[in-house]
């Protein structure tokens, strides 16, 4: 592709975009409003979560970037840059798959934590034994359980470990 044909292509896209300016502006305005509504909904939804603040912020930031990338991809498709639009959308999809594959242990810990929190046999202050560790449950959160043994050593287990292992309640608080 020569420089002349490249510049001709750019001028052609600008001219085409000028003709579609009302449609592009409408898409931009509607997209902006939708992004704000989706972010407000997700912010209130994540606000009910007991996850730590940093994790909530990361999740909302990733979703914010993905929404803006989809809006930019939609605008590019309207202008005629469909290949770039598809590349952007594909990048977001692949990133989302990689993120979900990497977070399976995190999700397992959260689900196990929900079930352990509802288990009446398992509470902070109880003396339990899991594997070869015996101690008092000091704290339970969304991802981990902390046991303090008789020597004062703090053992930290992911919640999913309790879901996969046999554990015994030796003494209730």
| Check whether domain 123-171 has CATH 2.30.30.60, yes or no | yes
Which pLDDT belongs to residue 58? 67
Write down the domain spans for the chain. 3-102, 123-171
Q: Three-state SS for 93?
A: helix
Nearest to 147 by CA among 159, 158, 135: 135
For the chain, count helices (H), then strands (E): 6, 5
- Terminal Cα-to-Cα distance of the chain (whole angstroms): 77
Which pLDDT belongs to residue 146? 92
Which pLDDT belongs to residue 102? 64
Q: How would you write the pLDDT of the chain (173 residues) with one tens digit per residue? A: 555 677 777 777 777 777 777 888 888 899 999 999 988 888 888 777 666 665 677 677 778 888 888 888 888 788 777 777 777 777 777 777 776 666 677 777 777 777 777 777 778 899 999 988 999 999 888 788 899 999 999 999 998 888 788 888 888 88
Q: Are 88 and 73 in contact (CB under 8 A)?
A: yes
pTM for the whole structure: 0.47
Name residue 158's beta-bridge partners: 144
């Amino acid at each position: 592709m020569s420089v002349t044909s490249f510049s001709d292509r750019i001028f052609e896209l600008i001219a085409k975009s000028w003709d579609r300016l009302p449609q592009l502006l409408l898409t931009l305005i509607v997209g902006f409003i939708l992004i704000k509504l989706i972010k407000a909904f997700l912010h209130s939804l994540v606000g009910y979560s007991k996850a730590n603040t940093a994790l909530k912020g990361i999740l909302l930031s990733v979703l914010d970037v993905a929404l803006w990338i989809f809006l930019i991809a939609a605008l590019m498709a309207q202008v005629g840059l469909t290949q770039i639009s598809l590349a952007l959308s594909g990048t977001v999809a692949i990133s989302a798959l990689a993120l979900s594959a990497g977070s399976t242990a995190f999700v397992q810990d959260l689900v196990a934590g929900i079930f352990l929190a509802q288990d009446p046999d398992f509470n902070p202050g109880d003396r339990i034994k899991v594997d070869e560790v015996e101690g008092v449950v000091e704290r339970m959160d969304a991802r981990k359980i902390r046991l303090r043994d008789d020597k004062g050593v703090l053992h930290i287990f992911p919640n999913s470990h309790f879901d996969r292992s046999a554990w015994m309640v030796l003494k209730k608080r």
